[in-house]
Amino acid sequence: MVAKIRKLIVEVDETRIEAGKAIDPPTRKALAMAVIENPCAGRYVENLDELIAIGEDLGGLLGDKCVQALGIAPGAAHSYGKAAIVGEAGELEHAAAILHPKLGAPLRKAVEKGAALVPSAKKRGGLGTAIDVPLGHKDAAFVRSHFDAMEARVSDAPRANEIVVAVVVTDSGRPLPRIGGLQVSEIKGEDGLR
Amino acid sequence: MNLDMITIRRIVTHVEDIHHEFGPPAATPLRRGAIAAVLTNPFAGRYVDEIVPMMDALQPVGIEMAQRLRAAMDVPVERIESYGKGAIVGAAGELEHGALWHVPGGYAMRELLGWKGDRSAYAQGKASAAPTGQPGNALAIVPSTKKVGGPGAALDVPLTHINAAYVRSHFDAMEVRVPGAPAADEIVFILVMSTGARVHARVGGLKAADIAQWNGLR
């Protein structure tokens, strides 16, 4: 593990009733977050390979934690998303280095397949800053019932020299989807879109 | 027991491992967990005088939540060293509705952790005299806090040692919030547990190893 982790957090959000209607089985979203030291904080660093390697580590670790917390087989995952909050001594590009080059492959391994783009968000923030992690179906980005988000936040992070890295995996879409669009049953799963 | 009063809309669990806080990393990270259940508030929007029946109705909710929290934390009950509880009442409710959680939330955790007392006697304020020797586990009062708040309101839930409230290393708190809840007609009931002291505890006071009176305090 290249990342220096101060805290590791796993949350599960289970909805049993929405708008007075029973959701059976409940919809469930799992969020795993690592609070890590930012090795590039406080100065301009041209080469971000160290952060890219951290992203690769965390894609597997956080993806596995989510799947484990849901108690499902990897292939039973439905949607995913990722996000990072960079502390104030860091740069937005640091979040990009963690999230985009190498985090995806091990995350896809954790959920099996994952033909679709992993939706993402990033920002700079202080202690307790919240980020809404966007979610999309892992095999077909156009599945409308699975467009969603989960709020991620750590009350005492990120410190100035830290980064909060978040991964969300679900075993379901929104509780009461009814706005049409591509359905899960219609997924081809070839191009990651439909 | 009026189970019609109980409608659970949502359950959120949160487990965190704290490796360090810029000091020496712990050999075994501190694990803290919280569980929050979002329930319909059957008394929302009006003043109801007789609310105590819900306290009984909440007992199985407390037991289920304590068990789920322990399972999410993935540690044996013997490793739980501190606990706390809280409630966030939505805007159409009253602080007193949150107070319904004291007995069912607290005793669910205490019984899970090996408390041997009489729950109904405690509920009526008739606790027995202080014993000697360790007469069970979870002897200390479960600290608590509550508030009326909007969706996403954060509650700092206090934590203290399960056997002696004065153990200084275990005074702690966990910020707990559920995005989107409580709506005006909801209540969020919360339990928290932890496997130990603050990660770099070093301000003296009574140590867990020095608990001797087994009266829930020292």
- Of residues B181 and B137, more confidence is placed in B181
Question: Can you count the helices (H) and strands (E) in chain A?
Answer: 3, 7
For domain A5-186, which CATH number applies: 1.10.3720.10, 2.40.10.10, 3.30.1330.110, 3.30.1300.10?
A: 3.30.1330.110
Q: Which residues of A touch B11 (CB under 8 A)?
A: 13-14, 16
Question: Would the CA dihedral through B54, B55, B60, B63 be positive or negative?
Answer: positive
Instruction: Identify the pLDDT of residue B127.
Output: 62
Least Cα separation, residue A115 to chain B (angstroms): 29
Q: Give residue-wise pLDDT tens across range A53-70.
A: 999 999 999 999 999 999
Which tokens go with B41? Answer: 């508030």
pLDDT in tens, A66-82: 999 999 999 999 999 99
pLDDT digits (tens, 9 = 90+) for A156-179: 999 999 999 999 999 999 999 999
pLDDT band at B121 (very low <50, low <70, confident <90, very high): confident
- Domain ranges in chain A? 5-186
Write out pLDDT tens, residues A100-114. 999 999 999 999 999
A&B contacts, CB < 8 Å: 59
Res A30: pLDDT? 98
Q: Can you tell me the ipTM of this complex?
A: 0.86
Contact status, residue B185 vs residue B39, Cβ threshold 8 Å: no
Distance CA A27, CA A79 (A): 12
- A13 vs B12, B15, B152: nearest CB: B12
Cα distance between residue B198 and residue B18, in whole Å: 9
Are A79 and A111 in contact by the 8 Å Cβ rule? The answer is: no
Percent of chain B scored above 70 by pLDDT?
Answer: 94
Q: What pLDDT score was predicted for residue B115? A: 86
The sign of the dihedral angle between the CA atoms of A143, A145, A146, A151 is positive
Of A8, A165, A33, the residue nearest B19 (C-alpha): A8
Gap between the terminal Cα atoms of chain B: 36
Residue B165 CA to chain centroid, in angstroms?
14
Q: Domain B3-210 is in which class? A: alpha beta
Q: How many CB atoms lie within 10 A of CB B42?
A: 19
Question: What torsion, rounded to 10 degrees, do the Cα atoms A170, A137, A100, B20 define?
Answer: 0
B78 in contact with A, Cβ within 8 Å: no
Q: What is the mean pLDDT of residues B18-38?
A: 96
**pLDDT (0 to 100) of residue A27:** 98
A89, A41 in Cβ contact below 8 A?
A: yes
Quick one: angle between helices A104-111 and A49-70, nearest 10?
Answer: 20
pLDDT of residue B130: 59
Cβ of A5 under 8 Å from any chain B Cβ?
Answer: yes
User: If you average pLDDT over residues A41-52, what whole number do you get?
Assistant: 96
pLDDT higher than 80, residue B6: yes
H/E stretch holding A126: none
Chain B interface, mutation test: which of A12, A37, A168, most B Cβ atoms within 10 Å? A12
pLDDT in tens, A18-38: 999 999 999 999 999 999 999
